[in-house]
Structure 1
Amino acid sequence: MCSAQKNNPNIIIIYTDDQGYGDVGALNPEAKFKTPNMDRLVDEGVTFTDGHSSDAVCTPSRYSLLTGRYSWRTSLKKNVLAADGPCLIEDGRVTMASLLRDAGYNTAMIGKWHLQMEFVGEVNGGRDWSKPFTDGPIEKGFDYFYGIPASMNYGILTYLENDRVLEPPTLYTKRKVGVTPRTYRIAPPYDKAYKEKLIEVAPSFIDELVLETLTNKAVEYIRNATKDAKKGTPFFLYLPLTSPHLPHCTHPDFQGKSDCGNYGDFMQETDYRVGQVLDALKANGIEDNTLVIFSSDNGAESNYKYQRDTYQHYSSLHFKGGKRDIYEGGHRVPFLMRWPKEIKAGIKVNTPVCQTDYLATVADIIGAKLPDDAAEDSYSLYEMMKNPKTVITDKPLVNHSFTGHFAIREGKWKLNMLRGSGGSLKPVIIKPKVGEALYELYDLDNDPGETKNLYFEHPEVVKRLTDKMTQIIKNGRSTKGEPQPFVKENWKQLTWMTLD
């Protein structure tokens, strides 16, 4: 490891929740809402036009972002986790926070965790909220944590600080259904008695105020951390926001402000919150040497179809599918970076990249050496950020769906290793009939919408990518280095191979 140097940048990762590629105005000129602050990042930094979350759902992507490792190497082979339970990040594993903390950074997380943490007791009166929770952000490299345990549509709804529950969630609630598809609120009145599948909630918790609360806390953190940063101790702030994930609980100040219903209103509030963070950097005089990374944990929720049909807003742009899907709409997301001191304004990189790459990139920036058992799927993007023509040879990209199926990418070729999407497009995961394709092969340069399956036309590409996927799994890594162990059990999705 290295010690923090005076010229090392502050680092902020703003991570939205279920935001599609077309939900940034600068990436989608026909967007039906305005995102001037996200557009600032496009105009003032680098846009990775082929940037991806590792997964098409929440928990796995968050694991990959922080560890530089695909989540399917853990016990989580599909789906997402809950709020309460053992953390998916293993004890002792290097995270971006622990790497930077050990290099002399101040580290903080403000926002949604959703990698599980362990609370004392059980639901329905058996909790002891006075006791600290364990296996949360503080144990994974963060000096400071303020936020909520998981998504706001289930789990535990209250604010946490470091390892403490700030207000005991002693009441219970359920979704208050809205009038448009898949919209609802988590709002008072709350119930005093527990019933099956109700959510634990703190009495003062109001969903419409969560984005404002988290952002204000982030702005406060930036202000307080600036003094150390100017003296040579930079900070890392991981800011995973709760929007535009359901419930679309827009602050009253932003309701009715867009041309895309409540979803558009919520996105405009989200953009405003991004602007508050950017403005805080400028106000505190640290904008020039702060690397801001902006992305989303997966593509747009399935009600993107409602926004498309009702308002002609295309959250997935021209890409197929959305959240949960193996298709591009499930994991091709806004992937923006701004660092005025190092990155030229307004450049674009068209190379396929992944959020797993963040950890190696940060390590490269600060001059830290990663051990063999860390960041197994992470490639540094540092040179590419400065020079978009930089080529990383032999860099595969693997994506993963809600049902745990794979897509592997090599240049223009993408092989979806199942028949169907693995998500909201209702996959047909059955043995193909005679003459039917086993998988789907697409040429994304000429067919970014994944409309023409070239499986039969290019058997050599199918074989090459299948063999490469096999090696990536068996080696426990996709980067160079010593093979690494991984969880091999309960992996029904590996239909083309067996594990020793």
Structure 2
Amino acid sequence: MKKITHIIFGLSFFLCSAQKENVSSKKGYKKPNIVYILADDLGIGDISGLNANAKVNTPNIDALIKNGMSFTDAHTTSSVCTPSRYSIITGEYSWRTKLKARVLDGYSKALIEDSKDTAPKLLQRNGYQTAMIGKWHLGWNWQFKNEEVLEMTAKNPYQFKEDISKKVDYSKSFSGGPTDNGFDYFFGLNASLDFPPYVYSENNKLITIPTKTMKPDGKSNNFPGGRKNDLVGGQKLKRKGDKAADFKAEQVMLDITNKSVDYITNYSSKNPFFLYIPLTAPHTPVYPREEFLGKSDAGIYGDFIQELDWTVGQIVNALKEKGLEENTIIIFTADNGASKSSFPIEFEEKYHHKPSAHLRGRKATLHQGGHTVPFIVQWKNIIKPNTKNNTTISLGDLYATCAELVNAKTDKNQGVDSYSILSLLKGKDNYERKASVYTNFAGRFSIRKDDWKMDLNPKKGKSYLFNIAEDPSETNNLFYDDSFSKKKKELTLALNQIILNGRSTTGEVLENDGPKIWKELFWMKKKKQK
């Protein structure tokens, strides 16, 4: 009887698989283009279509909301840039690498290993042309003027202990960047706009050799009342370093916009394309162009967001004019929540604008405002216009979503923390994620499972447990209430399993890079000592 059941099940599985195969292989099926626009440090309260009280106006992003689906509970895997972007590209938590905390800078080594599959690589293998225009922030391997062994920092195994800017040979190509990780074309910056070197790269080489020095900018020690009070100065943060003679930070958003529009306008291949556009706004330095100054009611930060919205409008218009909008999936999201430097907490009262809306926390924290982001998807004729989805999703889901979209078989040990949201986009509910893990700048952990979220901190009184459904603003901490001890054990067990199994998807147990238990897993160390 068992044998017959197995035969029937196997036949059913084969037929279902064949039907799936036919969807993408049948005559007349056209794979959609994908345009993925990633804002840099943007809160859910910074979009007028998501926040009625916003002091900014974002008509182009609002149009995507009206024409598509907005996710009300979308999260990054980390509340800071590098680890969040790593998950988007690879479908894997970044702490599975040796980078357990913090971010990379403009001279850091490549974070993505050669053996790691990525969403753009997957799409390349399935007939897509792939391009990236904007900010990378995942490191690459510079070539040096002389061969030498350089020591790395203790806190960051991808960052050099000393300033290597004078050792780098800027005339030579680099490796481990976008074109080695699945992009046919790349134009943009290595890291954030406040990190040197300040110069554009194209594919795997700098466009211009940096021969000048960017003057540092930021908070002034001579500010009346002290450096801490120079809030506007903090918005203009730039670190001193090498720059190209013609590089202007104020022009970067325009340059990214024009390059993106040109890519779409000049696209001539019959193959579909994946265009990844990680923008530099509204991350520091907050530099809106002159034509946007004073256009919002939230100071230069709001003005910068309105320039960002203009960029979105230019990209969508280019798709329309090329006749590509109907068969293009347009995704708009952000790498983490709003920054306290870009828009200081003190400015919330001054401008009556809250980047995190009703949520607690900002960028770099484990609170909801640090990793909850806008996630808006327009896909004409597939997604029902002006719909909302309340499912708790992750930006790390791109890899699995692309795989299902093109009906691609993938190595089960790649994209190990990624789940497809394709069914959600089509109005169904076959999303399989059971829990999500978030980290902050310090590499501390948080887990979300169903309505419950737990943040772990070794400092007394700094751990949290919230029922997000009942308390989305995280005002009632239940962690130290003994009546919730079973819930804490349940969440801790789920978190431990995700970490120690080397994956959150089903499959063989894998090893994370680096030590099995590292400093930030303080609760596991205590358990081990007992």
Change (3 A) 1:464 1:124: closer
Classify the secondary structure of the residue corresponding to 2:495: helix
After superposition, give the CA deviation of every residue in 1:99-128 in whole Å (9 maximum; x if it has no partner): 001111000000000101122237454432
Residue number among 247, 266, 291 corresponding to 1:224 in the alignment:
266
One-letter identity of the residue aligned with 1:135: G
Classify the secondary structure of the residue corresponding to 2:521: coil
One-letter identity of the residue aligned with 2:188: G
Structure 2 CA distance for aligned equivalents of residues 201 and 135 of structure 1: 22
Which structure has the larger Rg over C-alpha atoms?
Answer: 2
Residue number among 208, 211, 214 corresponding to 2:250 in the alignment:
208
Structure 2 CA distance for aligned equivalents of residues 438 and 311 of structure 1: 30
After superposition, give the CA deviation of every residue in 1:37-66 in whole Å (9 maximum; x if it has no partner): 111111111111000011000000000000
Change (3 A) 1:493 1:405: same
Classify the secondary structure of the residue corresponding to 1:356: helix
Structure 1 CA distance for aligned equivalents of residues 290 and 112 of structure 2: 36
After superposition, give the CA deviation of every residue in 1:107-161 in whole Å (9 maximum; x if it has no partner): 0000000101122237454432221111111110110000011011122111100
> Which residue of structure 1 lines up, in the alignment, with residue 510 of structure 2?
484
Classify the secondary structure of the residue corresponding to 1:459: helix
Structure 1 CA distance for aligned equivalents of residues 445 and 406 of structure 2: 33
Aligned residue runs from structure 1 range 453-472, under 5 A: 453-455=477-479, 456=481, 457-472=483-498
Aligned residue runs from structure 1 range 255-294, under 5 A: 255-294=293-332
Change (3 A) 1:210 1:400: same
Structure 2 CA distance for aligned equivalents of residues 171 and 249 of structure 1: 20
Shift of 1:495: 1.3
After superposition, give the CA deviation of every residue in 1:66-101 in whole Å (9 maximum; x if it has no partner): 000000111111110111232111112110110001
> Which residue of structure 1 lines up, in the alignment, with residue 187 of structure 2?
146
Classify the secondary structure of the residue corresponding to 1:270: helix
Aligned residue runs from structure 1 range 31-430, under 5 A: 31-121=54-144, 123=164, 125-177=166-218, 180-181=231-232, 182-184=234-236, 198-225=240-267, 227-228=268-269, 231=270, 233-302=271-340, 303-387=343-427, 390=429, 392-393=431-432, 395-418=434-457, 429-430=458-459
Give the number of aligned pairs: 469
| Equivalent pair of 1:73/1:487 in contact (CA under 8 Å) | yes
Aligned residue runs from structure 1 range 427-442, under 5 A: 429-430=458-459, 432=460, 439-442=463-466
> Which residue of structure 2 lines up, in the alignment, with residue 451 of structure 1?
475
Shift of 1:474: 0.9
| Equivalent pair of 1:83/1:115 in contact (CA under 8 Å) | no
Classify the secondary structure of the residue corresponding to 1:292: strand
Structure 1 CA distance for aligned equivalents of residues 465 and 300 of structure 2: 37
After superposition, give the CA deviation of every residue in 1:288-308 in whole Å (9 maximum; x if it has no partner): 110111111110001341331
> Which residue of structure 2 lines up, in the alignment, with residue 422 of structure 1?
none
TM-score (norm 2): 0.85
Indicate yes or no: 2:522 matched with 1:495: yes
Structure 1 CA distance for aligned equivalents of residues 140 and 514 of structure 2: 24
Shift of 1:171: 1.4
TM-score (norm 1): 0.90
Classify the secondary structure of the residue corresponding to 1:398: strand
Shift of 1:359: 1.0
Which stretch of structure 1 is more off in the superposition, 170-179 or 457-466?
A: 170-179
One-letter identity of the residue aligned with 1:224: N
One-letter identity of the residue aligned with 1:362: C
Shift of 1:438: 7.1
After superposition, give the CA deviation of every residue in 1:435-466 in whole Å (9 maximum; x if it has no partner): xx673110111111111111223111110010
One-letter identity of the residue aligned with 1:383: S
Shift of 1:394: 5.4
Structure 2 CA distance for aligned equivalents of residues 124 and 144 of structure 1: 25
Classify the secondary structure of the residue corresponding to 1:497: helix
One-letter identity of the residue aligned with 1:147: G
| Equivalent pair of 1:175/1:184 in contact (CA under 8 Å) | no
Structure 1 CA distance for aligned equivalents of residues 217 and 108 of structure 2: 26
Structure 2 CA distance for aligned equivalents of residues 278 and 177 of structure 1: 34
| Equivalent pair of 1:185/1:249 in contact (CA under 8 Å) | no
Structure 2 CA distance for aligned equivalents of residues 245 and 9 of structure 1: 30
Shift of 1:169: 1.2
One-letter identity of the residue aligned with 2:87: S
Classify the secondary structure of the residue corresponding to 1:408: strand
One-letter identity of the residue aligned with 2:205: R
| Equivalent pair of 1:326/1:400 in contact (CA under 8 Å) | yes
Shift of 1:487: 1.5
| Equivalent pair of 1:185/1:207 in contact (CA under 8 Å) | no
After superposition, give the CA deviation of every residue in 1:176-199 in whole Å (9 maximum; x if it has no partner): 33763422265xxxxxxxxxx731
One-letter identity of the residue aligned with 2:440: S
Which stretch of structure 1 is more off in the superposition, 101-110 or 448-457?
A: 448-457
Change (3 A) 1:145 1:393: closer
| Equivalent pair of 1:54/1:400 in contact (CA under 8 Å) | yes
> Which residue of structure 2 lines up, in the alignment, with residue 424 of structure 1?
none
Structure 1 CA distance for aligned equivalents of residues 520 and 463 of structure 2: 13
Classify the secondary structure of the residue corresponding to 2:350: helix
One-letter identity of the residue aligned with 1:446: E
Change (3 A) 1:124 1:446: closer
One-letter identity of the residue aligned with 1:369: K
Change (3 A) 1:321 1:76: same
| Equivalent pair of 2:107/2:164 in contact (CA under 8 Å) | no
Structure 2 CA distance for aligned equivalents of residues 362 and 51 of structure 1: 17
Change (3 A) 1:76 1:364: same
Structure 1 CA distance for aligned equivalents of residues 362 and 500 of structure 2: 29
